[in-house]
Amino acid sequence: MFTQIFNYMYKKIFNLKLLGIILLFFFSLVAKANDTYYLSSEGYLINIDLNNFTEKGKVIAGSMPTSIASCGNHIYFTDFSTDKLYDYDITEKKINNIDLQSLNSSDNEIKIYKEEDKIHKTPLRKAFESIIKPKKVKKENVFNDVEEPLAISIHNKKLGLTSVACNDKYIFISNTLKGKVNIVDRKKLTIINSFDTGERPTGLSISPNGDYLAICSTALDKVFIVNATGNFSVKNEFETEEGPTDSIWLDNSNLAIINRGSSSLSLINTNTKIINSIAISSPVNAILKDKNNNLYALSGVDNKIFEIKAGNLTANLFLELKENMDFPSILFDFDQSDKMLIGSEKDKKLIILNLKDKTIEKRIKTNFSPKVFIKNEV
């Protein structure tokens, strides 16, 4: 009798413990899935909760933050005006210093362009050449719990840090005005080499398996696919339409490229080398994919959203937003629901869009101007 009672109680306790472990695991997954950050044009990195869209924390992110990437428990972001790269440790909630002052000599750089490649005098090129000194934003630290992070400037000013990407081993940073992509060892936090792209590299992105890096060259109208795991060899290069500025991997072989200079989108198969271009009626500001690899492109000029179905080489108008928006950016949360999060930099607000019925569910005012979003998926 005693043995039966003991076994019964043991099973009950064991089942409760098992249930507790399952619930803890479930809630940890939800918390991680909702761990979202954005850079604001005022110069802050802000953590928001996608469940109730409240701010969970913030740190100062420089004067003119431009790009952001997430790897493991770290978020990396760049500041265009000061030529700084920041490393934010999510677990420790600290900004770590990255010493990038001693660049490698040109003898060690990996040259990935050909001398005969033509450097185009496009409107994008003229815009870059007109940059003399980025305007610094003067701001006061109004938060008692926020301190100005320390960061090391890269060699000299006016490098034009416009894009950053990372995998398990390396951080890749585009020095647009110097024509370089620096390769940084994540553990040692030092530059181990650089890609010499000729001029104006940007739009860096890492394939889902972390093996390949895509580099857009707005000067050469090309996209380079390079090995990102150690030997840094060039796998392929592709000619695109005019002015490729951003890239996103659909899977480990297929790539979508925004050609802002020609208001078009290029779909590239890096294995078969097949390139298809899709004309879009207005310049695209941002593009991301849903869980079915359907693409949505957002125009920052007329606030239109275009839909590109998987396997369909046409861009159809999905929705025209009746919003006053300036340089909008988008974040998808398709793992949780069929919704789109759009940040309006000009109006300091977030827009939650339901993709099924094409309606705006909610408008949320923010304290800062959302510029670039990222979801940490550790």
**Model confidence pLDDT, tens digit, residues 56-107:** 888 888 778 888 999 989 999 888 877 788 899 998 888 876 756 544 444 5
3-state percent helix, strand, coil for the chain, nearest multiple of 5 = 10, 45, 45
Average pLDDT over residues 130-144: 37
What's the N-to-C CA distance of the chain in angstroms? 49
φ/ψ bin of 212: left (φ > 0), alpha (ψ from -120 to 50), beta (otherwise): beta
pLDDT tens by residue, 160-174: 778 999 999 999 999
Lowest mean pLDDT among 37-41, 115-119, 219-223: 115-119
| Cβ contacts of 183 within 8 Å, gap of 6 or more | 170, 171, 172, 191, 192, 193, 194, 195, 232
Report which residue type is found at 191. Answer: I
pLDDT digits (tens, 9 = 90+) for 288-341: 777 777 888 888 777 888 888 767 777 888 888 877 676 677 776 655 567 888
Q: Do both 182 and 161 map to the same domain?
A: yes
pLDDT band at 142 (very low <50, low <70, confident <90, very high): very low
- The total of other beta-carbon atoms located within 10 Å of residue 73's CB is 12
Q: What count of other Cβ atoms lies within 10 Å of the Cβ of residue 85?
A: 26
**Mean pLDDT score, 177-199:** 86
The upper half-sphere exposure of residue 170, i.e. CA atoms within 13 Å in the direction of its Cβ, equals 23
Q: Domain range spanning residue 313?
A: 286-378
Does residue 21 form part of some domain?
A: yes
Please report the pLDDT score of residue 229 as a whole number. Answer: 92
Do 114 and 242 lie in one domain? The reply is yes
Residue 65 · residue 136 · CB < 8 Å: no
CATH code, domain carrying 245: 2.130.10.10
Q: State residue 329's pLDDT score.
A: 77
Confidence category of residue 11, pLDDT binned at 50, 70, 90: low
Distance between CA atoms of residues 220 and 26, nearest Å:
47
pLDDT at residue number 227: 95
Q: Is residue 57 part of a domain?
A: no
Indicate whether 334 belongs to any domain.
yes
Name the β-bridge partners of 359: 354
Residue-wise pLDDT tens digits, 247-291: 999 899 999 999 988 888 889 999 888 888 888 877 777 787 777
Contacts of 141 (CB under 8 A, 6+ apart): 60, 147, 148
DSSP state of 283: -
Residues 98 and 241 in one domain: yes
The closest alpha carbon to 291, from 167, 376, 208, 205, belongs to 208
Return the CATH number at 354. 2.120.10.30
Task: Return the higher-pLDDT residue of 17 and 286.
Answer: 286
Residue 209 has pLDDT above 80, yes or no: yes
State the pLDDT at residue 141: 33
Give the C-alpha separation, 112 to 271, whole Å.
19
| Angle of CA points 178, 165, 131, to nearest 5° | 30
Residues 250, 321 within the same domain: no
Q: What integer pLDDT is reported at residue 280 of this predicted model?
A: 84
279, 308, 338 - which closes a domain: 279
Mean pLDDT for the stretch of residues 225-230: 93
The answer to which of 140-149, 194-203, 238-247, 282-291 has the lowest mean pLDDT is 140-149
Residue 316: count other Cβ atoms within 10 Å of its Cβ: 9
Residue 318 falls inside a structural domain:
yes
Looking at per-residue pLDDT, the higher value among 293 and 216 belongs to 216
